[in-house]
């Protein structure tokens, strides 16, 4: 039942001669699961179509942004109109004010907001603001949390207790990495200990409140509350990187769902409705340090771009309707129940985790609470599962460390088909 990937294979061959790994973002290359990536021709609603004419139910959704489903008519029409008025001005527009106001209404902790072009920029700039505000250099991040590819955060500690940064990626100067402390997620004691040692030198803690970049890892009860309390004691800026969880876990993100008020927040993905956007913001006293109000420099030629703002505004308009999240949650819950039931019937050990509309299946018989738990799950089983699902017309993210996403466009029929495919695939790889 192998897929016909003739055209994708030809394109991949050409692409590899001209781009690193043939791609513009590494996981797209399918290295973790083997085979040839799908070269996409188009997408509509819950479906994505490759250049060979294959159709897939899509749970990648451009890695999160397409929460309304692909090419939503309201978004596409608004984009057409916006494009006709001009695609970039390098000057303020009413659209930026409108989107910022919508974001602040959903995230009241973001008193002042700056738009940027990606989640990477948002996280990088939020950290710079926190350093500028506190006058401290050190930052704390957590294993398995991704905050984009800026130098100082491409760092991952070894296992065990708190380790001072060793650069994970060549090209990151040791001097940068030295200021990044990496700790295990869900381990409040490790954080308390590092604060006792060097808390007064730590500018900020940056965290994915639910870890979506090692699958889908939920915070233990009290963990986020503990971080909030300790950071306050030491004057450390608490940054929630909600680039993935923002408008995904709930309209108000993880901070609304877990009732925690961070000092700063990073957004991206959904707020761009499929166009390149990021945003960061937080307390007035911190954000007033940003240029031109203050000395912390941060800028962008295309920041607040009218097309990106338009896609974001139209997306949030639909998301802010009262029934939208009820529908999204019902669909996500139906998928969860179906997937758990399929695994049980097939007699295979998996753990399915879900936070709102993001989810992940781990192949393991143990609970997953942090990155090292995730790393111990059976990634070969995931890769086999991924390939079987693809052959059956279901597009999952091509790595066991990635989350899947639900959209408003996924129908009960899509979910049923997904669950049937999962049951058959589970049985085959058992
Ligand atoms: C995707 C992601 C980023 C990076 O965003 P880009 O737009 O890819 O630069 C940062 N943080 C988190 C939590 C993300 O999921």
The model's pLDDT over 258-310, given as tens digits with 9 standing for 90+, comes to 999 999 999 999 999 999 999 999 999 999 999 999 999 999 999 999 999 99
> What is the pLDDT at residue 166?
55
Give the β-pairing of 138-142 and 163-164.
unpaired
Closest atom of ligand 1 relative to the 148 alpha carbon? 4
Which residue, 278, 304, 319, sits at the end of a domain?
319
Whether 93 and 304 have beta carbons less than 8 Å apart is answered as yes
Q: Is residue 146 annotated as a catalytic residue, yes or no?
A: yes
276 plus 348 within the same structural domain = no
Q: Give me the residues of the chain with pLDDT under 50, please.
A: 157-163
* Residue 318 CB coordination number (10 Å): 15
Choosing from 58, 241, 263, 414, the catalytic residue is 241
CA of 371 to the centre of ligand 1 (A): 17
> What is the pLDDT at residue 1?
59
Give the β-pairing of 55-58 and 180-183.
unpaired
Whether 368 and 219 have beta carbons less than 8 Å apart is answered as no
d(CA 125, CA 129): 6
CA of 359 to the centre of ligand 1 (A): 17
Mutate to test the pocket of ligand 1, among 143, 145, 215, 243 (most ligand atoms within 8 A of CB): 243
Strand order in the sheet with 358-362: 351-355, 358-362, 404-405
Distance of CA 133 to the CA centre of its chain: 26
Apex 403 CA angle, 310 and 388, nearest 5: 115
Whether 263 and 286 have beta carbons less than 8 Å apart is answered as yes
25 plus 79 within the same structural domain = no
Is 122's C-beta closer than 6 angstroms to any atom of ligand 1?
no
335 plus 355 within the same structural domain = yes
Closest atom of ligand 1 relative to the 118 alpha carbon? 7
Is 272's C-beta closer than 6 angstroms to any atom of ligand 1?
no
> What is the pLDDT at residue 248?
97
Sign of CA dihedral 388, 391, 393, 394: positive
228 plus 350 within the same structural domain = no
> What is the pLDDT at residue 154?
79
Q: Which residues contact 138 (CB under 8 A, 6 or more apart)?
A: 179, 180, 181, 198, 201, 202, 203
d(CA 91, CA 377): 49
d(CA 216, CA 268): 18
Grouping H, G, I as helix, E, B as strand and the rest as coil, residue 177 is helix
313 plus 328 within the same structural domain = no
Is 118's C-beta closer than 6 angstroms to any atom of ligand 1?
yes
pLDDT tens by residue, 127-153: 999 999 999 999 999 999 999 988 888
39 plus 83 within the same structural domain = no
DSSP single-letter state for residue 182: E
Is 242's C-beta closer than 6 angstroms to any atom of ligand 1?
no
Q: Which residues contact 161 (CB under 8 A, 6 or more apart)?
A: 190, 193
| CATH number, domain with residue 209 | 3.40.640.10
Is 244's C-beta closer than 6 angstroms to any atom of ligand 1?
yes
Is 120's C-beta closer than 6 angstroms to any atom of ligand 1?
yes
Q: Is residue 6 annotated as a catalytic residue, yes or no?
A: no
Which residue's CA is the closest to the ligand 1 atom numbered 8? 119
244 plus 294 within the same structural domain = yes
d(CA 108, CA 100): 11
Closest atom of ligand 1 relative to the 25 alpha carbon? 8
Is 274's C-beta closer than 6 angstroms to any atom of ligand 1?
no
Domain range spanning residue 178? 73-319
Grouping H, G, I as helix, E, B as strand and the rest as coil, residue 220 is coil
Q: Does 310 reside within a domain?
A: yes
24 plus 53 within the same structural domain = yes
Is 212's C-beta closer than 6 angstroms to any atom of ligand 1?
yes
Which residue, 297, 319, 341, sits at the end of a domain?
319
Which residue's CA is the closest to the ligand 1 atom numbered 5? 119
Cis peptide before 286 (omega within 30 of 0): no
CA of 347 to the centre of ligand 1 (A): 35
Q: Is 61 left (phi over 0), alpha (psi -120 to 50) or beta?
A: left
Choosing from 47, 269, 331, 388, the catalytic residue is 269
Closest atom of ligand 1 relative to the 245 alpha carbon? 13
Closest atom of ligand 1 relative to the 269 alpha carbon? 7
CA of 231 to the centre of ligand 1 (A): 23
Domains contained in the chain, number: 2
178 plus 264 within the same structural domain = yes
Q: Which residue in 252, 302, 248, 303 sits closest to 270, CA to CA?
A: 248
Task: Specify the DSSP element, H or E, that contains 132.
Answer: helix 119-134
Whether 394 and 57 have beta carbons less than 8 Å apart is answered as yes
Which residue, 319, 348, 381, sits at the end of a domain?
319
d(CA 244, CA 266): 9
DSSP single-letter state for residue 90: S
Which residue's CA is the closest to the ligand 1 atom numbered 11? 147
CA of 147 to the centre of ligand 1 (A): 6
Is 402's C-beta closer than 6 angstroms to any atom of ligand 1?
no
Give the β-pairing of 202-207 and 237-241.
parallel
CA of 203 to the centre of ligand 1 (A): 21
What burial letters (b/e) apply to 41-71, b meaning 16+ CB within 10 Å?
eebebbbbbbbbebebbbbbbbbbbbbbbbe
Q: Does 242 reside within a domain?
A: yes
329 plus 314 within the same structural domain = no
**What pTM does this model have?**
0.97
Q: Is residue 331 annotated as a catalytic residue, yes or no?
A: no
DSSP single-letter state for residue 195: H
Q: Which residues contact 196 (CB under 8 A, 6 or more apart)?
A: none
Whether 156 and 401 have beta carbons less than 8 Å apart is answered as no
Distance in Å from the first CA to the final CA of the chain: 18
């Amino acid at each position: 039942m192998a897929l016909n990937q003739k055209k994708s294979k030809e394109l991949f061959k050409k692409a590899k001669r001209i781009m690193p790994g043939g791609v513009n973002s590494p996981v797209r290359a399918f290295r973790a699961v083997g085979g040839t990536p799908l070269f996409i021709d188009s997408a509509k609603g819950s479906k994505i179509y490759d250049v060979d004419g294959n159709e897939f139910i899509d749970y990648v959704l451009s890695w999160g942004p397409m929460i309304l489903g692909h090419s939503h008519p309201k978004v596409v029409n608004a984009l057409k109109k916006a494009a006709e008025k001009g695609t970039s001005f390098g000057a303020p527009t009413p659209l930026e004010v409108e989107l910022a106001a919508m974001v602040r209404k959903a995230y009241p902790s973001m008193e002042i907001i700056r738009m940027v072009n990606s989640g990477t920029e948002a996280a990088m700039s939020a950290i710079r603001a926190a350093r500028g505000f506190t006058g401290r250099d050190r930052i704390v991040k957590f294993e398995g949390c991704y905050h984009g590819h800026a130098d100082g955060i491409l760092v991952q500690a070894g296992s065990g207790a708190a380790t001072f940064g060793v650069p994970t990626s060549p090209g990151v100067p040791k001097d940068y990495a030295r200021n990044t402390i990496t700790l295990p997620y869900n381990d409040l004691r490790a954080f308390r200990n590092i604060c006792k040692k060097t808390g007064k030198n730590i500018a900020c803690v940056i965290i994915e409140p639910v870890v979506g970049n090692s699958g889908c890892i939920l915070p233990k009860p009290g963990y986020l509350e503990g971080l909030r309390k300790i950071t306050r004691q030491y004057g450390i800026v608490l940054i929630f990187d909600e680039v993935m969880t923002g408008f995904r876990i709930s309209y108000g993100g993880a901070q609304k769902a877990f009732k925690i008020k961070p000092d700063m927040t990073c957004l991206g993905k959904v707020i761009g409705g499929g166009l390149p956007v990021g945003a960061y913001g937080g307390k007035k006293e911190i954000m007033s340090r940003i240029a031109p109000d203050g000395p912390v420099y941060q800028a962008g030629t295309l920041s607040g771009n009218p097309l990106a703002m338009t896609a974001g505004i139209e997306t949030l308009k639909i998301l802010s309707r009262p029934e939208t999240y009820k529908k999204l949650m019902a669909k996500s819950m139906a998928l969860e129940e179906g997937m758990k039931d399929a695994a049980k019937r097939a007699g295979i050990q998996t753990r399915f985790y879900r936070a709102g509309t993001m989810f992940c299946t781990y192949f393991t018989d143990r609970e997953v609470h942090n990155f090292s738990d995730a790393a111990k799950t059976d990634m070969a089983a995931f890769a086999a599962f991924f390939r079987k699902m693809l052959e059956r017309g279901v597009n999952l993210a091509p790595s066991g460390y990635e989350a899947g996403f639900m959209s408003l466009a996924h129908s009960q029929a899509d979910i049923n088909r997904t669950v049937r495919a999962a049951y058959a695939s589970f049985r085959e790889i058992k």
